[in-house]
């Protein structure tokens, strides 16, 4: 016990000394500490068990990796909670970074700052447990045989028609809610959603929802991208972007995504 | 003595507050031709409608060949095959040809198919309508339409005909052809009850004339008696007003 | 003559003046793009066949059910009182609910009870929604037709010994139906347009196909194409209904 505390104290001292020369020095709310906000509560698979301190779940893991890349070690990370909407309002913030699946949009970018994306939402195949039990597989051949439903105004329709080329013509709806309703009614087998929406829909809106697989995010045209939110004009932005670029470069982000959004959620890549 | 063809006992009928028939007793023998005369609203039409059950009576009995048809729940469709009725306004079915007007009921009610055709064609020819059989009602004159209505009733082979002012809606020059038809029926021995304003015709053909006034039979008798020597003051009054 | 001159003047004004409006080029490009027209027309026409098919199989059901409801509302026998009440409730209910709401409720709701394929098809239940609504309207039209036939016609039939049933079938209905043909024609024109509401629950008919093209090509010309295809059917139908209406009016006067 004594040894542990000593080790922690030592490492803290070492980190502080190191951080002084790093890009984040003097730019955080509390010097030497990185304050990160998440949702209240925070959800699976982004944060497991609403406990970001454990570093489990995609965003929690990204947060600690990002902190490490910026020169903060685990003890120097402090978590706070914000509601989704209050964080995208203009004004003073009680966090350095806020990560709760904020899609980067030009409108939001006018009032707050976004980091470079740490996640690009791929298209995922939402279906029902019944369809999975009937033998549907995360392969293009298997997807062809399903009855598809898509939202008319999205890019999902060309994806379905050109990449999957289903045997039966798809049914088309006005919005995601109708697609989900048609799936509940058993009128369609499968639909394309971006993975976060698909996860939410399958877990919250449907009783027997299931995710069959996800497409390579690189394949998506104009995909949803998540960025860490920062106060407008944040001095930290350059530092965060630099760290994220490094994590993309060295495969850290991809590894975390594979661990928490493919393996943990059981949504394999479609081949 | 055989039952009379039609017998009415104490028949009353009101529409709401208005009492239209106030206790009618009447007998009509088979083959008899009875003319009902009287002012409009005296109850002639209602009486005719009570005779075939088209209007249910409030009280009293209506016997057809000895059977009370005024009893509630009596299946009137069977007696309606035996009593034909013709209305003032013809009431032909405008969407059918004259022939189909006459053939509908024999086909549907009597179950006749081919046999009806010859018989009905015969009726049209007999009443000089053979050339008009396949015309629609609106292509026929009023007199022709009314003759078709008579043929339509006859097609059901009735033993009694009720005729409700069947010439009243016709132009004067068309009345004759319709009355001719009635003369022919009379010669056949058809039992007929005729509500009419044609006094001279009633006098010529009726076996008996019944004068109705305010829902009662005011006077009845042989035509010469009623027209030449009416006993009641109101009969005299009525005849004076119509025979001017 | 005056009519001809003024018509020509108006057409000229439209043809000459509208293109002079400053936004005309932009409007022309997004609504009247020839290339898009040619490219989308065949697919839209094919999609329209689905509208026609839905219409074609709905109409017999609408009239059969509408007739049944109209007759049940007119039932005379006291024993059939519940049927009369049912008819009245049916008409009030389904005339009162907007078609699109019924399309959603029936189209998603009933299959959601757990019907297996193909019995949960949006085509089946969307059609049911149309049939429910339109049969309620048609029932009212037919009932008004039946009631417009003078009682003397019924009396004449009854006095010939015809049963109530035969009287209705051979005497009243043929006249009543003829009398309400114009009203029903208008109903059919409205139905032809409402068929497009089925697209809300999945089927890709012409309006939905036009919407897909719009998103894909960022151009509104497909909607114009769809409108033209609709007009090609509904204008002659409306004209024909008007013709029947006038003929009927002239015949009665």
Per-residue pLDDT at C181 exceeds 90: no
**Closest Cβ–Cβ partner in C107, C117, C202 for A172:** C202
Which residues, other chains included, contact B139 with Cβ-Cβ below 8 Å and sequence gap of 6+?
A: B132
- Of C187, C182, C76, the closest CA to residue C139 belongs to C187
- The reply to whether A131 touches chain C by the CB within 8 Å rule is no
**Closest Cβ–Cβ partner in A153, A157, A187 for C202:** A187
Check residue A81 and give its pLDDT: 92
Q: Do A182 and C122 touch (CB under 8 A)?
A: yes
**Closest Cβ–Cβ partner in C122, C201, C212 for A152:** C212
Check residue A19 and give its pLDDT: 44
B156-181 residues labelled b (16+ CB within 10 A) or e (exposed):
bebbbbbbbbbbeebeeebbebbbeb
Which residues, other chains included, contact A94 with Cβ-Cβ below 8 Å and sequence gap of 6+?
A: A29, A35, A37, A80, A82
Residue A238 three-state SS: helix
Check residue C25 and give its pLDDT: 82
Distance between CA atoms of B81 and B62, rounded to whole angstroms? 16
- The reply to whether B91 touches chain C by the CB within 8 Å rule is yes
Distance between CA atoms of B237 and B240, rounded to whole angstroms? 5
Sheet holding A77-81, edge to edge: A77-81, A34-38, A97-98, A225-231, A112-120
- The reply to whether A173 touches chain C by the CB within 8 Å rule is yes
**Closest Cβ–Cβ partner in B85, B89, B108 for C159:** B85
Mean pLDDT throughout B230-237?
A: 91
- Chain C residues with beta carbon closer than 8 angstroms to that of B95: 174-175, 178
Touching C: which chains, 3+ CB pairs < 8 A? A, B
Contact B174, B141 (CB under 8 A): yes
Touching B: which chains, 3+ CB pairs < 8 A? C
| Average pLDDT score, chain C | 89
Mean pLDDT throughout B58-70?
A: 89
Contact C245, C182 (CB under 8 A): yes
Residues written for chain C: 253
Do chains C and B meet with 3 or more Cβ pairs nearer than 8 Å? yes
Distance between CA atoms of A169 and A206, rounded to whole angstroms? 24
Per-residue pLDDT at B122 exceeds 50: yes
Prediction ipTM score: 0.89
| Chain C residue with the nearest C-alpha to that of A159 | C216
What are the beta bridge partners of residue A98?
A37, A229
Residue C46 pLDDT level (bands cut at 50, 70, 90) = very high
The predicted model scores a pTM of 0.79
What are the beta bridge partners of residue A150?
A172
Per-residue pLDDT at A10 exceeds 50: no
pLDDT in tens, A32-65: 899 999 988 888 889 999 999 999 999 999 999 9
Query: What token pair was written down for B105?
Result: 């009921």
Distance between CA atoms of B109 and C180, rounded to whole angstroms? 29
> What residue has token string 């193909």?
C118
Check residue B96 and give its pLDDT: 93
Do chains B and A meet with 3 or more Cβ pairs nearer than 8 Å? no
**Closest Cβ–Cβ partner in C152, C155, C161 for B105:** C161
Max Cα-Cα span within chain B: 55
> What residue has token string 């009870």?
C113
pLDDT in tens, A215-230: 887 776 777 889 999 9
Per-residue pLDDT at A15 exceeds 70: no
Distance between CA atoms of B47 and B164, rounded to whole angstroms? 10
Residue B244 pLDDT level (bands cut at 50, 70, 90) = low
- Of B148, B146, B152, B142, the closest CA to residue B130 belongs to B148
C129-158 residues labelled b (16+ CB within 10 A) or e (exposed):
bbbbbbbbbbbbbbbebbeebeeebbbbbb
B83-86/B160-164 β-pairing = parallel
Q: A234-248, B104-118, C129-143 — which one is most confidently predicted on average?
A: C129-143
Q: Do C212 and A172 touch (CB under 8 A)?
A: yes
Residue C225 backbone zone (phi > 0: left; psi -120 to 50: alpha; other: beta) = alpha
Per-residue pLDDT at A13 exceeds 50: no
pLDDT in tens, C58-106: 999 999 999 999 999 888 788 889 999 999 999 999 999 999 999 999 9
Check residue C251 and give its pLDDT: 62
Interface test with C, best of B46, B64, B77 (most C CBs within 10 A): B77
Check residue C55 and give its pLDDT: 95
Check residue C159 and give its pLDDT: 92
Distance between CA atoms of A155 and A259, rounded to whole angstroms? 28
Check residue A14 and give its pLDDT: 42
pLDDT in tens, A124-133: 999 999 999 9
Contact C187, C140 (CB under 8 A): no
Per-residue pLDDT at A6 exceeds 70: no
Check residue A26 and give its pLDDT: 81
Contact A67, A240 (CB under 8 A): no
Distance of CA B55 to the CA centre of its chain: 14
Q: How far is A42 from chain C (nearest CA, A)?
A: 32
Max Cα-Cα span within chain A: 68
Mean pLDDT throughout A240-268?
A: 89
Residue C252 pLDDT level (bands cut at 50, 70, 90) = low
pLDDT in tens, A71-85: 898 999 999 999 888
Q: How far is A28 from chain C (nearest CA, A)?
A: 44
Distance between CA atoms of B241 and B219, rounded to whole angstroms? 17
> What residue has token string 């027309």?
C41
Q: In this structure, is the dihedral angle defined by the CA atoms of residues A36, A41, A47 and A48, taken in order, positive or negative? A: positive
């Amino acid at each position: 016990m004594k040894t542990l505390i000593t080790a922690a104290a030592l490492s803290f001292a070492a980190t502080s000394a190191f951080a002084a020369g790093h890009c984040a020095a003097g730019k955080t709310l509390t010097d030497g500490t990185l304050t990160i906000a998440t949702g209240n509560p925070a959800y699976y698979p982004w944060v497991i068990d609403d406990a970001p301190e454990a570093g489990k779940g995609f965003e929690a893991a990204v947060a600690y990796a990002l902190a490490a890349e910026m020169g903060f070690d685990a003890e120097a990370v402090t978590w706070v909670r914000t509601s989704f909407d209050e964080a995208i309002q203009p004004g003073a913030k009680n966090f350095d970074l806020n990560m709760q699946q904020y899609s980067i949009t030009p409108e939001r970018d006018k009032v707050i700052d976004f980091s470079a994306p740490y996640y690009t939402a791929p298209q995922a195949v939402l279906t029902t447990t019944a369809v999975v039990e009937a033998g549907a597989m995360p392969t293009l051949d298997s997807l062809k045989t399903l009855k598809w439903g898509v939202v008319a105004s999205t890019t999902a329709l060309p994806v379905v028609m050109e990449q999957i080329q289903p045997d039966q013509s798809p049914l088309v709806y006005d919005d995601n809610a109708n697609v989900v309703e048609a799936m509940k009614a058993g009128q369609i087998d499968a639909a394309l959603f971006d993975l976060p929406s698909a996860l939410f829909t399958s877990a919250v809106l449907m009783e027997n929802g299931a995710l069959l697989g996800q497409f390579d995010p690189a394949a998506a045209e104009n995909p949803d991208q998540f960025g860490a939110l920062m106060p407008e004009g944040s001095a930290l932005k350059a530092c965060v972007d630099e760290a994220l670029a490094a994590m993309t470069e060295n495969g850290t982000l991809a590894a975390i995504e594979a661990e928490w959004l493919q393996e943990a959620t059981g949504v394999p890549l479609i081949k | 003595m055989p039952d009379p063809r039609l017998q009415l006992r104490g028949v009353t009928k009101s529409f709401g507050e208005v009492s239209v028939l106030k206790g009618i007793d009447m007998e009509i023998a088979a083959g008899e031709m009875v003319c009902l005369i009287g002012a409009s609203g005296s109850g002639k039409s209602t009486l005719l409608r009570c005779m075939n059950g088209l209007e249910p009576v409030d009280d009293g009995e209506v016997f057809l060949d000895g059977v009370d048809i005024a009893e509630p729940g009596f299946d009137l469709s069977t007696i309606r095959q035996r009593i034909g009725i013709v209305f003032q306004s013809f009431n032909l079915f405008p969407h059918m040809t004259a022939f189909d007007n006459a053939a509908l009921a024999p086909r549907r009610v009597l179950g006749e198919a081919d046999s009806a055709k010859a018989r009905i064609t015969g009726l049209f020819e007999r009443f000089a309508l053979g050339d008009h059989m396949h015309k629609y009602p609106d292509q026929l004159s009023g007199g022709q339409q009314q003759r078709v209505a008579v043929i339509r009733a006859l097609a059901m082979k009735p033993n009694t005909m009720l005729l409700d002012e069947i010439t009243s809606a016709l132009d004067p020059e068309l009345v004759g052809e319709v009355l001719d038809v009635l003369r022919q029926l009379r010669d056949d021995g058809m039992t007929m009850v005729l509500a009419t304003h044609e006094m001279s015709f009633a006098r010529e053909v009726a076996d008996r004339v019944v004068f109705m006034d305010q829902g009662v039979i005011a006077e009845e008798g042989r035509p010469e008696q009623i027209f030449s020597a009416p006993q009641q003051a109101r009969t005299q009054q009525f005849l004076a007003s119509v025979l001017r | 003559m005056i009519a001809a001159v003024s018509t020509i003047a108006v057409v000229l004004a439209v043809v000459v003046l509208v293109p002079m409006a400053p936004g005309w080029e932009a409007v022309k490009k997004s609504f009247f793009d020839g290339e898009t027209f040619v490219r989308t027309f065949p697919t839209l026409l094919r999609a329209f066949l689905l509208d026609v098919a839905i219409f074609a199989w709905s109409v017999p059901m609408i009239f059969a059910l509408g007739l049944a409801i109209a007759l049940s509302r007119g039932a005379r026998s006291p024993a059939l009182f519940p049927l009369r009440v049912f008819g009245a409730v049916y008409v009030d209910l389904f005339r009162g609910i907007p078609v699109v709401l019924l399309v959603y409720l029936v189209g998603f709701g009933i299959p959601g009870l757990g019907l297996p394929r193909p019995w949960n098809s949006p085509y089946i239940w969307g059609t049911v929604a149309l049939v429910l609504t339109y049969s309620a309207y048609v029932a009212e039209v037919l009932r008004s037709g039946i009631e417009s036939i003078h009682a003397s016609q019924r009396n004449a039939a009854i006095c010939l010994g015809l049963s109530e049933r035969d009287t209705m079938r051979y005497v009243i209905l043929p006249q009543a139906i003829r009398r309400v043909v114009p009203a029903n024609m208008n109903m059919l024109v409205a139905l032809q347009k409402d068929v497009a509401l089925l697209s809300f629950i999945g089927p890709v008919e012409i309006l939905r196909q036009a919407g897909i093209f719009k998103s894909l090509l960022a151009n509104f010309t497909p909607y114009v194409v769809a409108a033209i295809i609709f007009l090609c059917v509904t204008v002659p139908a409306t004209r024909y209904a008007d013709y029947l209406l006038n003929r009927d009016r002239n015949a009665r006067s």
